[in-house]
Amino acid sequence: MTKYREVLPAGLLKTQGETYYLLSPHPIEGDSWEGDNCYRFVCVPTYYYSHNNEVVYSYARHVVTNCFTIDYVVYERPIKIVVLDEYDISETENLNVEEEFVYDQ
């Protein structure tokens, strides 16, 4: 059974030739191995797939970088992302979560 959650992105994070939906407008606290010039963001890749005629994005992840551009955008509609059963960071990072959907596959 796959779970989905709707989240409202805070903008777009562009780094290392990739673009991500930024799920929190600020970097989060990093681990001890990260240098002073590294920043950790909670993001979802902008590529998507179709499930039951709905656009679904991949699961949330941490992106650590020191070279990035952020485009803050006010989104009116949330995006639907996959929720991982074992470790779902979209829940633990206090993000703007609308509601959770569970679908059988």
Candidate from 26-30, 43-47, 60-64, 95-99 with smallest mean pLDDT = 95-99
pLDDT at residue 43 greater than cutoff 70: yes
Residue 47 φ/ψ, nearest 5 degrees? -75, 150
- At 81, which helix (H) or strand (E)? strand 79-83
Q: What is the pLDDT of residue 95?
A: 54
The reported pLDDT for the residue numbered 91 is 54
Number of domains observed in the structure of the chain: 1
Question: How many whole angstroms separate alpha carbon 33 and alpha carbon 21?
Answer: 25
Reported as a single tens digit per residue, the pLDDT across 72-84 is 998 889 999 998 8
What is the extent of the structural domain holding 36? 2-103
Contact 22, 10 (CB under 8 A): yes
How many other C-beta atoms are found inside a 10 Å radius of the C-beta of residue 7? 23
Sole residue written with tokens 């941490």: 62
pLDDT at residue 88 in the model: 61
